[in-house]
A and B are shown apart, each in its own frame.
Chain A
Amino acid sequence: MANSMNIISSTLGFDASTWPLHDLVFGDRANASYAHSSDAAFMFILYVSILSFILVMGATVYFVVKYRRIPGKPAELSPHHNSRLEVTWTVIPTIVFVAMFIVGFKGYTDMLVPKQGGIEADLIAAKWSWTVKYSNGMSNTAVMPSNKFLAQPVPVYYMPAETPVRLKMISKDVMHSFWVPDFRLKIDVLPNRYTKFWFETGSIPEKADTLEFDPASPWAPLNGTPYVDHWVFCAEYCGDLHSEMGAIIRVIPKDKFQWWLANAGSADPPDIRGERLWQNNCISCHSIDGSLKTGPSWKNIWGATHTMTDGSKIVVDENYLREAILNPNAKIVAGYAAGQMPSFAGVLNEQQIADLIAFMKSSKVTQPAAEKPAQ
């Protein structure tokens, strides 16, 4: 399957940025690995549409002029239908539509199946702001001081160039939608389950602007760094300041990004915070060394397959863990009793749940597969 996707990928993954009319339609700021093939799909549809429109409207105008009414002269006779013609103009559009569907499907898989490597981050949406938390716990951002965006200042999130980035997204209240037009992707952000968004940034163009901070500010080491900014908009109506809910993704070279990640703000990494939360909230019923307590042990829990009391099997992933913390009686592991674990809704917030999950993924709790002792 992977091989055939690669073949399709190389034949259909055209770079549309140089095609006629592309920049008129999209501008020239696309910056994600799948953006150009999404644009190629659009340009293909656009060219077909322009051709069809010219044919249909051309025929209309021609007929209206050539067959205008002449008083006293009845209309000439002509067939009332023509099976061959009608079948032809049914079959040809069908074939074209099938092609459009296939091209769209291929681009869709590119947009949803993330590349590994690179960095991961959590995104939290709320009325009316975005918060990105990087893997080292940092979420500090530069607030863009100009009013070029909207009526309020806009956070800037730094991202590395030429790197896959994977976001895990959740909303604290209503539905939002995370849209980066230059990446050509949006995914809705829901309050009841995580959704995922990934992109791989391109390289920074040679004529890019460079950062200029006050030499006395802590950001000064970044001066002279080339960068590209991309708007982030909320694309699902969410109330009063829906149109103010913006952000900027600022792509900088990988080495500068590492500096920024390490220095632009500090906090304990998520798995350390999660360990503290475990000690304060969960240790009484859940061990991490395999010993049996009121609840299942977390030893090697991440990615494991558990059997539930109703016989079904589930794989332990982020959504299962989040549900277990907020609605523990929804699924009970076989061998354990229902009604024992309280819900932590209102006790643990989304950030704390994510920290606990990070702890469960960490090597203190889950050994990498190669090192697991024989069962």
Chain B
Amino acid sequence: MTTMDTGHSNGLHDHHDLPYLARKGGVWTTVKDWMTTVDHKKLGIMYLFAILTLFFAGGVAALLVRAELFNPVRLVEGTGINGIPARYEGQMLGQWFGASPENPNEGNLWYNRAFTMHGAIMVFMVIVPGIPASLGNFLLPLMLGAKDVAFPRLNLLSWYVYLTGSIFGVLAILYHGVDTGWTFYTPYSTTTDAGHWRVVYMILAAFILGFSSILTGLNFVVTVHKLRAPGMGWFDMPLFVWAIYATAVIQVLATPVIGITLLLLIFERVFRVGIFDPALGGDPVLYQHFFWFYSHPVVYVMILPGMGVVSDIIAVHSRKPIFGYRAIAFASLGIAGVAFIVWGHHMFASMSEIGSVVFSALTFLVAIPTAVKIFNWVSTLYKGSIALTTPMLYALVFLFLFAIGGLTGLPLATLSTDLHLHDSYFVVAHFHYVMFGGTIIALLAGLHHWWPKMFGRNYSEPAAKFGVLLVFVGFNLTFFTQFFLGTHGMPRRYASYPDEFTMLHQWSTIGSFILGVGFFWHLLVFIHSLAVGERAKENPWGALTLEWEADSPPSEHNFSHEPVLKNGPYDFETTVPPHWNAKDWPLPDPAAVAANRH
């Protein structure tokens, strides 16, 4: 059965039956088609390509950072003060980018640019759009049984706004980058690098990217409300859709705040309007409140879609309904709500004491639905039929890494311990475990799970599993060491350090290069799949959600007829999955099933 067999004997004549990836003509026609498409699948693929490219760019910046930290910076000649010439060693980035070995400022400046660009690229251009823009765009209408999102043209606009914002970011990089930290704290960000425009380009990049986020969020909220297939109530939706919905609500409500804040930052820098700089009558802690009011909810924008991916993958690959479906659905909304009232936990070292006490208490509140989700995922495995496919392995890796990330958030929510750990490597390790070990691992899981659907090709399963091993080992070596660096006193955003931190830094750097090799390996596996991979079946995993009824890859309008929902998303014990033969899917005795449900 070929992927293009939709029952029509001359299927190629009706373009609605062509896979969405099929060319429509020559090179120029194809390029024009992709540049003006409103097809959510093509947009999702383009987002995916951009996000993965920028992920590799941000990853290169990270490897530059870790390479620099392999050796501390030391004075090897002279005394370095009072104008006596000196020479410094250990400033690798400085040397590569042509800084003078007599001037430690220049060498450190390149390091400071590297960590800033790493953070800014990863946060604004990769992880925030991340899963929603790529997998979300591709899968949301398919999972709902719809032809497209609610506002397809708005979707295309979102894509071009994302490209525009990213171009400003690339411009800042081409002008040697910015060294303010991705958080742009004032008054440093409004006074540094005076006379140059690159800081403004970077801030503008984030400002413009915010609009892409808002428009996509709006589109998704309306799509979930209005475009569900007949028979699909809210509690019949896959949990990935619940996750995307909760994410979209946060995107629409929170992103305008960072937009205004970044605009104010530009006004202060360019027009010297005093809002955040005390020299102009402003207050730097005010900036922190404005910034974190968005930037805390945005971390839930980053993780909720990942949790949605993991929910669906664990259910499908253990052939079990998710334990506590409603708990997970409501926990997603609960996390989205509480996300807005905890921002002050980034500011315990600079905020009022009463404020700190309140924010610490509220922060523990958000830990509760998060813990509940982990228990639900593990309980889903109970009495399942578990296959250790690559998506399932990554889902399990997610559980491992996200559990560590979440648990290490607890000493950061706790007031007395946070005053030691704030702005140390402990925080760096914590957020990499949740953002990287959480969101990016979930993205990898989702890519491997939906790859056959998106591209109609299989990838080499043994090769992909080897990638999982490299990533898992590299990740833990890189970041687990950093918890100890933090508790022992290593501050973050440091180009150099005292001797006693050297060994842990060297292990961390080695881990980061193993991690880099692991991702590069996955890239090769995917390229190999696209080039010569075997054709995929419509429903290789035996899943029950509507996207698996479509072809692999789906035709342009997703479904030949509007689907009518006949089963719940995880009814593995009563339903033979689409495109499967009943003899390959033995069902338990219906009477036993009915008894189990009561």
A residues with a Cβ closer than 8 A to B are 24-27, 34, 37-38, 41-42, 45-46, 48-49, 52-53, 56-57, 59-60, 63-64, 67-70, 72-82, 85-86, 89-90, 93-94, 97-98, 100-101, 103-108, 110-112, 147-153, 173-175, 177, 179, 181-182, 184-188, 190-192, 195, 231, 233-244, 327
Contact of A53 among B356, B387, B404, B592 (CB under 8 A): B404
Interface residue? B573 (CB, 8 A): yes
A240 cross-chain contacts in B, Cβ below 8 A: 104-106, 108-109, 112, 179
Contact of B384 among A25, A67, A181, A244 (CB under 8 A): A67
Nearest residue (CB) in A for B183 is A237
B413 cross-chain contacts in A, Cβ below 8 A: 100-101, 104
**Given A69-B387, A80-B325, A239-B188: A37 touches B573 (CB 8 Å cut-off):** no
Interface residue? B178 (CB, 8 A): no
B residues with a Cβ closer than 8 A to A are 72-75, 79-81, 88, 104-106, 108-109, 112, 179-181, 185-188, 191-192, 278-279, 281, 283-285, 318-321, 323-327, 349-350, 353, 356-357, 360-361, 364, 367-368, 371-372, 374-376, 378-379, 381-388, 396, 399-400, 403-404, 407-408, 410-411, 413-420, 422-424, 484, 487-489, 491-499, 572-573, 585-588, 592-593, 596-597
A148 to B410, CA, bound (A): 34
Contact of A67 among B191, B376, B381 (CB under 8 A): B381
* A–B Cβ pairs within 8 angstroms, 5 of them: A25-B487, A59-B381, A101-B361, A190-B284, A237-B185
Contact of A81 among B185, B326, B487 (CB under 8 A): B326
A147 close to B364 (CB less than 8 A)? no
Nearest residue (CB) in B for A246 is B498
A70 cross-chain contacts in B, Cβ below 8 A: 385
A244 to B420, CA, bound (A): 19
B417 close to A90 (CB less than 8 A)? no
Contact of B419 among A48, A90, A186, A191 (CB under 8 A): A186
A244 to B419, CA, bound (A): 21
Contact of B416 among A38, A49, A63, A237 (CB under 8 A): A38
Contact of B357 among A41, A105, A181 (CB under 8 A): A105
Contact of B79 among A82, A110, A153, A175 (CB under 8 A): A153
B383 cross-chain contacts in A, Cβ below 8 A: 67, 75-78
**Given A151-B73, A187-B349: A45 touches B417 (CB 8 Å cut-off):** yes
A234 cross-chain contacts in B, Cβ below 8 A: 491
B279 cross-chain contacts in A, Cβ below 8 A: 191
B185 cross-chain contacts in A, Cβ below 8 A: 175, 236-237
B484 cross-chain contacts in A, Cβ below 8 A: 24-25
Nearest residue (CB) in A for B499 is A148
CB distance from A110 to the nearest CB of B (A): 7
**Given A38-B419, A93-B368, A148-B498: A60 touches B396 (CB 8 Å cut-off):** yes
CB distance from B507 to the nearest CB of A (A): 15
B417 close to A107 (CB less than 8 A)? yes
B597 cross-chain contacts in A, Cβ below 8 A: 80
A186 close to B420 (CB less than 8 A)? yes
B491 close to A97 (CB less than 8 A)? no
B487 cross-chain contacts in A, Cβ below 8 A: 25-26, 42
A64 close to B403 (CB less than 8 A)? no
A101 close to B586 (CB less than 8 A)? no
A177 to B597, CA, bound (A): 58
**Given A174-B188, A179-B491: A152 touches B364 (CB 8 Å cut-off):** no
B419 close to A75 (CB less than 8 A)? no
**Given A42-B411, A175-B284: A151 touches B74 (CB 8 Å cut-off):** yes
List the count of A-B residue pairs having beta carbons below 8 Å apart: 304
A103 to B410, CA, bound (A): 12
A236 to B427, CA, bound (A): 13
B596 close to A241 (CB less than 8 A)? no
A239 close to B192 (CB less than 8 A)? yes
CB distance from A316 to the nearest CB of B (A): 20
A190 to B351, CA, bound (A): 11
A187 cross-chain contacts in B, Cβ below 8 A: 349-350, 419
B491 close to A233 (CB less than 8 A)? yes
Nearest residue (CB) in B for A187 is B349
A175 to B286, CA, bound (A): 13
CB distance from A249 to the nearest CB of B (A): 13
**Given A237-B493, A241-B104: A64 touches B410 (CB 8 Å cut-off):** no
**Given A25-B487, A89-B371, A188-B350: A42 touches B572 (CB 8 Å cut-off):** no
A97 close to B284 (CB less than 8 A)? no
**Given A37-B416, A67-B386, A97-B367: A175 touches B188 (CB 8 Å cut-off):** yes
A80 cross-chain contacts in B, Cβ below 8 A: 321, 323-325, 597
A56 to B377, CA, bound (A): 10
**Given A42-B411, A77-B592, A192-B284: A68 touches B388 (CB 8 Å cut-off):** yes
B494 cross-chain contacts in A, Cβ below 8 A: 233, 242-243
A64 cross-chain contacts in B, Cβ below 8 A: 381, 386, 388, 396
CB distance from B86 to the nearest CB of A (A): 8
A49 to B404, CA, bound (A): 8
B104 close to A86 (CB less than 8 A)? no
A64 to B387, CA, bound (A): 8
A69 to B387, CA, bound (A): 5
A63 to B317, CA, bound (A): 13
B410 close to A100 (CB less than 8 A)? yes
A78 cross-chain contacts in B, Cβ below 8 A: 320, 382-383, 596
Nearest residue (CB) in A for B387 is A69
B386 close to A152 (CB less than 8 A)? no
CB distance from B292 to the nearest CB of A (A): 14
A38 close to B491 (CB less than 8 A)? no
A49 close to B498 (CB less than 8 A)? no
A97 to B150, CA, bound (A): 42
CB distance from A248 to the nearest CB of B (A): 10
Contact of A27 among B109, B367, B488 (CB under 8 A): B488
A243 close to B497 (CB less than 8 A)? yes
**Given A152-B104, A239-B179: A45 touches B381 (CB 8 Å cut-off):** no
* Residue picked from A106, A186, A234, A327, most chain B C-beta under 10 Å: A186
Nearest residue (CB) in B for A154 is B498
CB distance from A290 to the nearest CB of B (A): 34
Contact of A177 among B375, B423, B573 (CB under 8 A): B423
* Residue picked from B104, B415, B492, B586, most chain A C-beta under 10 Å: B415
CB distance from A62 to the nearest CB of B (A): 9
A234 to B106, CA, bound (A): 19
B381 close to A243 (CB less than 8 A)? no
B349 cross-chain contacts in A, Cβ below 8 A: 177, 186-188, 235-236
CB distance from A371 to the nearest CB of B (A): 33
CB distance from B205 to the nearest CB of A (A): 20
A38 to B487, CA, bound (A): 12
A174 to B74, CA, bound (A): 26
A185 to B417, CA, bound (A): 9
A7 to B592, CA, bound (A): 59
A104 close to B360 (CB less than 8 A)? yes
B498 close to A231 (CB less than 8 A)? yes
A185 to B573, CA, bound (A): 56
Nearest residue (CB) in A for B322 is A80
A177 to B420, CA, bound (A): 11
Contact of A174 among B72, B187, B326, B416 (CB under 8 A): B187
A242 cross-chain contacts in B, Cβ below 8 A: 108, 112, 493-495
CB distance from B332 to the nearest CB of A (A): 15
A57 close to B400 (CB less than 8 A)? yes
Contact of A151 among B104, B364, B418, B492 (CB under 8 A): B104
A104 cross-chain contacts in B, Cβ below 8 A: 360, 413-418
B495 cross-chain contacts in A, Cβ below 8 A: 242-243
A242 to B378, CA, bound (A): 44
A190 cross-chain contacts in B, Cβ below 8 A: 278, 284-285, 350
